[in-house]
Chains A and B, each alone.
Chain A
Amino acid sequence: MRKVFSKDEWLGNVRGDVLAGIVVALALIPEAIAFSIIAGVDPMVGLYASFSIAVVIAFVGGRPGMISGATGAMALLMTTLVAEHGLQYLLAATVLTGILQVLAGVFKLAKYMKFIPRSVMVGFVNALAILIFTSQLQHFVDETWVMFALVGLTLAIIYLLPLITKAVPSTLIAIIVVTALAIFMNFGVRTVGDMGELTRTLPMFLIPDIPLNFETLQIIFPYALALTVVGLLESLLTASIVDDATDTESDKNMESRGQGIANITTGFFGGMAGCAMIGQSVINVKSGGKGRLSSLVAGVVLMFLIIVLGNIVVQIPMAALAGVMIMVSIGTFDWSSLKTLHIVPKSDVAVMVVTVAVVVYTHDLSIGVLSGVVLSALFFAAKISKVKVMSLLVDGGDKRIYYIKGQLFFASVTEFLTKFDFSEEIKEVELDFTHAHLWDDSAAGALDKIEAKFEQHGTHVIKKGLNIESTELMDKIGGITKGADH
């Protein structure tokens, strides 16, 4: 495990890290507020989370330069828990999520990420983008044209300003302009202040106010498990993206553990569970952030701004936030996956689409990922269970040679058995396994069955070309079924 207090990781890029940290802090504020609203809690819960997670992860994370905080993926998982049981249960679930993530780090589970197919990951980000987008639609219900105009203006500034200057983050300018417009023109549109309280104080250490019993655990455990999986998934994906963008390595198990420590701390300080953020991390790297200092600066500046400018923040119109969230969802969506839709294998497209559909239907990213993984496994089994059997009649019609090509295992034996003609009037059959492999007892059993059926008909069976592993398997478990028949 790498040293946490590596001088280079902290002070190797001070100027770049401080500047990028400030840019990220400004971009984090509207997102943290919007994600709180998605989860159904006060804006402070998301702001405390982004502050605490960004600061803690700066010290204990495994991927310097990556930004973590309150995220949409996590917020979407909390909605039901908050609605049915309230904030205190969310804080407890956050602590439990952290504990599970620390365990995942300790037991080095990061390597199991490779069992999640890429088409499922693409489905994951696309579903996330769609959910963030649809979560904003509620803000348009029963609204006047003013709302639509302000959202349009926000998006126009966000996308057009970078054409003129990239010196200031366009999201921030969009929010300032739209907020100023709403205040001076007195539009009377809904603001952040209408969505919940924003206390301008530092977070305090508090033990979640819940009964510590089995019933509580039963309530929070399923949520904590989903949060753990989704949090690690997005964090490790983001870590790989930052690895690539900065051309450096990271410690994925240390990052899993770090995300856990950050969530435990956050739960005790009144924040909601979070994880790494793809968009913010890309912004950080683009703005010159590489080291641990960038995440620390982002967290500290965010809290400072909330304490100093809290009374202005509550006046930000929901229209501006909705605009920012629409931008976030457009940025999250993997558009290249649509462009390559006609090139990639149809089964991969199906997995991606099913993952997206399940998430959009259930609003639960973890169920979507699970469905995607299961479907991929089924497709894989279907693909690999195609066994080719060709045969040739030799010796003037007395002997038939079967050439077998493929993988013989539980999923392929049923079809495999149908390829033989057991009633043919011949003296001898030869089974050529040079291009086949026997994997399990189903395969060994099938072989025994074939032999038995031919011999019942008075046809002698010769097996040829079994590779070493397959032969060992047959020696170990073959012959049992045949023996039982007699």
Chain B
Amino acid sequence: MKKLLVATDGSEHAKRALLKAIDIAGKDEEAIIDLMYVVDGETSKADVLHYGDSDTASFKREKKLKESVELVEAEGIKANLIIEHGDPEETLIDHANSNDYDLVLVGSRGRNKLQTMVLGSVSHKLVKHIDAPVMVVK
């Protein structure tokens, strides 16, 4: 297990997936964990309203996700933060398939109740369309 991709949104569920990834990568010096966060339209609306403009919103997101990156680096594993804009599922699938990952990890259950209702099919969709093995962490 050298190259892992973890989908994150800064939630507890995503953190569980991240911890699992750190666990799997072990103390391997060559292991790399890519952390991916996708900003969708609704997130843009809420963040711009609360932070004023796009630049500040981007800065706040990076700051929030920095914690996760530090969590990985504290274990002596290399980490990259990837922030993309678009449809979360499609963007994640595209990114996963255009790079060689040994494993893709996603947390089950996202942020709110509405998503929880839909999310069963989201993880199913990811498992179906991502070429690499996908682990759904509970």
CA gap between A121 and B47 in the complex, in Å: 12
From B10-18, B49-57, B100-108, the one touching the partner chain is B49-57
Is residue B39 within 8 Å, beta carbon to beta carbon, of the partner chain? Answer: yes
Would you call A241 and B50 a contact (CB within 8 A)?
no
Task: Answer whether A163 and B85 are a contact pair too, CB < 8 Å, given A244-B44, A282-B42, A334-B46.
Answer: no
Q: Is the CB of B51 within 8 A of A118?
A: yes
Q: Select from chain B the residue with minimum beta-carbon distance to A114.
A: B52
Q: Is the C-beta of A9 less than 8 angstroms from some C-beta in chain B?
A: no
Binary interface encoding of chain B residues 1-45 relative to chain A, with 1 for a CB under 8 A from any of its CBs, else 0: 000000000000000000000000000000000000001111011
Interface hits, B72-115 → A, CB 8 Å? 85, 87
A191 and B87 alpha carbons, distance in the complex (Å): 36
Chain A positions within 8 Å of B48 at CB level: 237, 240-241, 243-244
> Is A286 in the interface zone, CB < 8 Å from B?
yes
Is the Cβ of B45 less than 8 Å from the Cβ of A278?
yes
Is the C-beta of A224 less than 8 angstroms from some C-beta in chain B?
A: no
B42 engages A240 (CB within 8 Å): no
Chain B contacts for A340, CB-based, 8 A: 50
**Known contacts A163-B117, A286-B87; A245/B44 CB under 8 A:** yes
In the complex where A241-B45, A286-B41 touch, is A122 in contact with B58 (Cβ < 8 A)? no
For residue A246, CB closer than 8 A to chain B, the reply is yes
Which residues of A in the span 233-285 have a Cβ within 8 Å of any Cβ on B? 237, 240-247, 278, 282-283, 285
CB neighbours of A336 from chain B (8 A): 46, 50
Q: Are A282 and B41 neighbours in the complex by a CB distance under 8 Å?
A: yes
A244 touches B58 (CB 8 A): yes
Give Cα A251 to B104, complex, Å.
39
Among A118, A247, A283, contact of B52 (Cβ-Cβ < 8 Å): A118
Is B118's CB under 8 angstroms from A245's CB?
A: no
How far is A39 from B74 in the complex, measured between Cα atoms in Å? 59
Cβ-based interface call for A38 (8 A): no
Q: Which residues of A contact B39 (CB under 8 A)?
A: 244-245, 247
Distance of A72 from chain B, by nearest CB (Å)? 16
**In the assembled complex, which residues on chain A have CB atoms less than 8 Å from the CB atom of B52?**
114, 118, 240
How many residue pairs, one in A and one in B, have C-beta atoms under 8 Å apart? 65
Q: Is the interface on chain A under 10, 10 to 19, 20 to 34, or 35 or more residues? A: 20 to 34
Chain A contacts for B45, CB-based, 8 A: 241, 245, 278, 282, 334
Cα A246 to Cα B43 in complex, Å, equals 12
Mark each residue of chain A from 338 to 380: 1 if its CB lies under 8 Å from any CB of chain B, else 0: 0010000000000000000000000000000000000000000
Chain A residues within an 8 Å CB radius of B46: 334, 336
Contact A244 B85 (CB under 8 A): yes
Give the complex CA separation of A125 and B48 in angstroms: 12
- State A337–B87 Cα separation when bound (angstroms): 23
User: A105-141: contact bitstring with B at CB < 8 Å (1 yes, 0 no)?
Assistant: 0000000001000100110010000000000000000
Taken together as a complex, chains A and B put the C-alpha atoms of A368 and B50 apart, in Å, by 18
**Chain A residue with minimal CB distance to B42?**
A282
Tell me, in angstroms, the Cα distance from A471 to B44 when the chains sit together: 46
Do A285 and B41 touch across chains, with their CB atoms under 8 A apart? yes
CB distance from B115 to the nearest CB of A (A): 11
Compute how far the CA of A334 lies from the CA of B42 in the bound complex, rounded to whole angstroms: 10
Q: B85 near A118 (CB under 8 angstroms)?
A: no
Known: A122-B49, A286-B40. A244 touches B117 (CB 8 A): no
Which chain A residues lie closer than 8 Å to B47 at the CB level? 244
Is the pair A334, B54 in contact by a Cβ cutoff of 8 Å? no
Contacts of A286 in B (CB 8 A): 40-41, 87
- Asked if A244 meets B50 with Cβ closer than 8 Å, knowing A163-B118, A282-B42, A285-B41, the reply is no
How many angstroms from the CA of A21 to the CA of B63 in the assembled complex?
35
How far is A244 from B39 in the complex, measured between Cα atoms in Å? 8
Residues of A contacting B53 with CB < 8 Å? 240, 243-244
List, in ascending order, chain B residues with CB within 8 A of A244's CB.
39, 44, 47-48, 53-54, 57-58, 85
- Distance in Å: Cβ of A378 to nearest Cβ of chain B: 21
Residues of B within 8 A of A247 (CB): 39, 54, 85
Let me know if B41 and A245 touch, CB within 8 A.
yes
Task: Write the residues of chain B forming the contact surface with A, with a CB cutoff of 8 angstroms.
Answer: 39-42, 44-54, 57-58, 85, 87, 117-118, 121
Q: List 29 A-B contacts (CB under 8 A).
A: A118-B52, A163-B118, A163-B121, A240-B48, A240-B52, A240-B53, A241-B44, A241-B45, A241-B48, A241-B49, A242-B44, A243-B48, A243-B53, A243-B54, A244-B48, A244-B53, A244-B57, A245-B44, A245-B45, A247-B39, A247-B54, A282-B42, A282-B44, A286-B40, A286-B87, A334-B46, A336-B46, A337-B50, A340-B50
List chain A positions with a Cβ less than 8 A from chain B. Answer: 114, 118, 121-122, 125, 162-163, 237, 240-247, 278, 282-283, 285-286, 334, 336-337, 340
Closest 5 CB pairs of A and B: A244-B54, A282-B41, A245-B44, A244-B44, A243-B54
**New A-B contacts (16) at CB < 8 Å, excluding given A243-B48, A334-B45:** A114-B52, A118-B49, A118-B52, A122-B49, A162-B118, A163-B117, A237-B48, A240-B48, A243-B54, A245-B39, A245-B41, A245-B85, A247-B39, A282-B41, A285-B41, A337-B49
